[in-house]
Amino acid sequence: MRTIKGPALFLAQFAGDATPFNSWDAITKWAADCGYKGVQVPSWDGRLFDLKKAAESRAYCDEIVGKARDNGVEITELSTHLQGQLVAVHPAYDEAFDGFAAPELRGNPKARQQWAVEQVKLALTASKNLGLDAMASFSGALAWPFVYPWPQRPAGLVETAFDELARRWKPILDHAEDCGVDVCYEIHPGEDLHDGITYEMFLERTGNHPRACMLYDPSHYVLQCLDYLENIDIYKDRIRMFHVKDAEFNPTGRQGVYGGYQSWLNRAGRFRSLGDGQVDFGAVFSKMAANDFAGWAVVEWECCLKHPEDGAREGAEFVKAHIIRVTEKAFDDFADSGTDEAANRRMLGL
């Protein structure tokens, strides 16, 4: 067993135009001041990170790693959530997701998709240059508009969608293999990989690609009424990344999983700051430790009520309190009788 590393913080929800959130130097100092030992980096945010430069220049990577360390934090992983989303977009979402792409690509889905693939590949190369072995992403979605089985789906529709999704990702996963970096898909509603079964459908179509891994985030499972603890045991060999995020699901006689088109504040299912929701993190951290998870515990702040800076500071302490420093000996070693093979045979009557 290994002790989980952390706490770390995903910076995507904090990057902004005001100090200390508008530069790499300032935001890493702020994260360390909040109590974090690591930061997960949104690769698309040029205020913090130059993705193209990181893919081309080890010197630049050494510079930003050195600056982060000087300020008290490590880089845990890069994130390509927004670019990964654009690897596969159903036309119904073209306009909604156009904002994730470079301005000159908006309104051109084909060019946008090609750009997204190149961006994810650049992030894999940059991860290698940074000395990282995992990268977070979304899978994108072609079948999501058909997630509910009404109207009745034509035979083969879902299979065709997943065949195409795997076809688009296979070259990226092969590049990930060349880089020695796992692609960790965040299993998330709105993505075709939104639960264990859909992840398995995709994995099978990639030939069980060794780099097609999983980002575990229990909050998304709470909102789907999925067993988030059993999920850890089922996918322990593929879970290579961990977002520590809380949620609550409080169905009423008026609404349930689908939320009645309400705002996050008024939905039955809501994301909450750590400790304010329903996730049993004591059990989650215990299973992660027992299953020898070797990565970072990364706080992803999302809450419909609490201020983000309060959530960040509280989150660091919450994770510190939940990380289990694993034992190197059994609790009953004091009673070891010191027997040997001959004694074992005698005890068995052999």
Query: What pLDDT was estimated at residue 1?
Result: 83
- Can you name the residues that pair with 183 across neighbouring β-strands? 135, 212
> What confidence category does residue 332 fall into, taking pLDDT thresholds of 50, 70 and 90?
low
> What confidence category does residue 338 fall into, taking pLDDT thresholds of 50, 70 and 90?
confident
Q: Is the peptide bond before 7 cis (omega within 30 degrees of 0)?
A: yes
Average pLDDT, the chain: 96
- Can you name the residues that pair with 131 across neighbouring β-strands? none
> What confidence category does residue 333 fall into, taking pLDDT thresholds of 50, 70 and 90?
low
> What confidence category does residue 335 fall into, taking pLDDT thresholds of 50, 70 and 90?
low
CA distance 77 to 335: 43
Top pLDDT among 36 and 328 is at 36
Top pLDDT among 297 and 336 is at 297
Mean local confidence (pLDDT), 44-72: 98
Condensed to tens digits (0 to 9), the pLDDT of residues 11-28 reads 999 999 999 999 999 999
Domain count, the chain: 1
Amino acid at residue number 49: F
| H or E element in which residue 301 lies | none
Query: What pLDDT was estimated at residue 57?
Result: 98
Query: What pLDDT was estimated at residue 219?
Result: 98
Query: What pLDDT was estimated at residue 328?
Result: 78
* Residue 253 exposed, middle or buried by CB count within 10 Å (0-12, 13-18, 19+): exposed
Share of the chain above pLDDT 90, in %: 93
Q: Which CATH number characterizes residue 45's domain?
A: 3.20.20.150
* C-beta separation of 262 from 208 below 8 A: no
Condensed to tens digits (0 to 9), the pLDDT of residues 256-288 reads 999 999 999 999 999 999 999 999 999 999 999
Condensed to tens digits (0 to 9), the pLDDT of residues 108-161 reads 999 999 999 999 999 999 999 999 999 999 999 999 999 999 999 999 999 999
CA distance 279 to 218: 7
pLDDT at 334 over 60: no
| Owning domain of residue 169 | 5-347
> What confidence category does residue 339 fall into, taking pLDDT thresholds of 50, 70 and 90?
confident
> What confidence category does residue 65 fall into, taking pLDDT thresholds of 50, 70 and 90?
very high
CA distance 49 to 123: 11
